[in-house]
């Protein structure tokens, strides 16, 4: 009977592996799961974690780091001084290792159910027939029309906001509540976005996430949407909506970018509109430059991103960066490189072949969405 303590965690790991295989081999299974089972998690324990003002998932992540460090340190001591250790220490370490084994099995299942399976669902264009019956490929004319439209809208909004003495935008509303409201509104168009939304939560160690250039984070094991509280305010509305979209099963970053844009762009709140346009303007401008063959004269014949709009596209303010660097334990370059490698590897292992480059695929989704509207 005592072997069940070893068999059950192994069974959990095996179950997680089989679920991943099933998801990769059969889109119908993944789609059914995303549509009918995954929503249960945010409606149940997502409501429980939503009761806390702090990010439960963030602190669980730090706890996992501590538990892993204890396992490794104890393992080294156990291996090196095995003959000299008291039986009580050996027993305690073996029990701890068993506890860690159980936690590992549980985490494998949770990550599979709340993250990995979502990557295998059909793309949003198929699920909601976005661009159906329209072009598959878009050229210079379409990318130009879309890019110019977004630039003009951003330029129009840039001067309307109240600003402080340093030129930074001032906002006094509730970003979290407006983000939830806009996502619920978008749920009228996309069924998967209906239902309960917890309030987006600020990351406690936002400085560390700033070093990774991370604006937001979705914690699968707590069903929470988190945002970097130190980033410049123009990033916050679209980031909150982006992270909330993950809670509804849209795990691909280009799709979350697209949903974040749609949720914000139709808001009556001008900051949300501005955030939407600024979130994609860089992708569009880059693709426009490629489409015209980097011809400077052609580029200058089109609307230019205003100085104010360009200034509002910052990740952190100068003052915020100084505060981050002052408290930093590791160099930002080191943290950023490690984070990029981890994220790129994670995306690639989950079937996103182009890794972090996939974020920019939002341009193709926008081209399909605006087909028949702008061109």
What pLDDT sits at residue 135? 75
Q: The whole model's pTM is what?
A: 0.89
Mean pLDDT of 90-101: 92
Task: Provide the pLDDT confidence category of residue 20 given band limits of 50, 70 and 90.
Answer: very high
Task: Provide the pLDDT confidence category of residue 355 given band limits of 50, 70 and 90.
Answer: very low
Q: Tell me how far apart the alpha carbons of residues 178 and 234 are, in angstroms, rounded to a whole number.
A: 14
The pLDDT mean for the chain works out to 91
Dihedral (CA of 101, 103, 105, 111) sign: negative
Sheet containing 201-202, strands listed edge to edge, beginning at the edge strand earlier in sequence: 201-202, 224-227, 216-219
226 closest CA partner among 247, 212, 211: 247
Q: Tell me how far apart the alpha carbons of residues 132 and 142 are, in angstroms, rounded to a whole number.
A: 17
Question: Cα dist. 176→100, 172, 181, 192, 225 in Å?
Answer: 36, 12, 9, 20, 10
What pLDDT sits at residue 332? 74
What pLDDT sits at residue 358? 41
Is pLDDT above 60 for 136?
Answer: yes
Q: Choose the weakest-confidence range: 211-220, 320-329, 358-367.
A: 358-367
pLDDT tens per residue across span 29-56: 999 999 999 999 999 999 999 999 999 9
Is pLDDT above 90 for 12?
Answer: yes
Give the contacts of 215 (CB within 8 A, at least 6 positions apart): 227, 228, 231, 235, 239, 242, 315
More confident call, 7 vs 162: 162
Q: Which two tokens stand for residue 175?
A: 């970003």
Give the contacts of 18 (CB within 8 A, at least 6 positions apart): none
Mean pLDDT of 164-181: 95
């Amino acid at each position: 009977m005592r072997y069940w303590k070893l068999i059950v965690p192994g069974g959990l790991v095996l179950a997680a592996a089989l679920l991943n295989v099933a998801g990769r081999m059969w889109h119908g299974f993944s789609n059914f799961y995303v549509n009918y089972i995954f929503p249960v998690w945010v409606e149940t324990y997502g409501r429980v974690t939503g009761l806390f003002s702090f990010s439960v998932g963030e602190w669980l992540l730090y706890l996992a780091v501590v538990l892993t460090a204890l396992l490794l340190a104890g393992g080294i001591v156990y291996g090196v001084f095995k003959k000299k250790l008291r039986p009580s220490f050996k027993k305690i370490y073996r029990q701890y290792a068993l506890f860690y084994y159980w936690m590992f099995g549980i985490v494998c299942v949770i990550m599979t159910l709340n993250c990995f399976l979502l990557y295998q669902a059909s793309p949003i264009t198929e699920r909601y027939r976005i661009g159906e019956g329209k072009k598959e490929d878009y050229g210079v004319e379409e990318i130009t029309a879309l890019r110019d439209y977004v630039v003009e809208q951003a330029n129009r909004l840039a001067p309307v906001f109240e600003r402080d003495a340093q030129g930074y935008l001032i906002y006094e509303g509730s970003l979290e509540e407006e983000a939830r409201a806009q996502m619920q509104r978008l749920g009228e168009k996309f069924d998967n976005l209906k239902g309960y939304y917890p309030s987006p939560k600020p990351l406690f160690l936002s400085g560390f996430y700033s070093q990774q250039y991370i604006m937001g984070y979705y914690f699968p094991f707590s069903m929470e949407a988190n945002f970097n509280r130190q980033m410049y305010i123009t990033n916050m509305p679209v980031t909150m909506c982006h992270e909330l979209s993950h809670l509804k099963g849209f795990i691909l970053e280009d799709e979350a970018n697209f949903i974040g844009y749609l949720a914000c762009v139709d808001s009556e709140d001008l900051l949300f509109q501005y955030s939407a346009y600024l979130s994609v303007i860089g992708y569009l401008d880059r693709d426009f430059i490629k489409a015209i063959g980097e011809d400077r004269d052609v580029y200058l014949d089109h609307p230019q991103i205003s100085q104010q709009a360009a200034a509002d596209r910052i990740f952190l303010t100068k003052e915020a960066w100084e505060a981050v660097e002052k408290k930093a334990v590791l160099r930002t370059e080191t943290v950023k490189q490690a984070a990029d490698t981890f994220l790129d590897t994670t995306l690639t292992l989950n079937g996103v072949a182009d890794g972090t480059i996939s974020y920019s695929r939002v341009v193709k989704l926008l081209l399909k969405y605006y087909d028949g509207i702008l061109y």
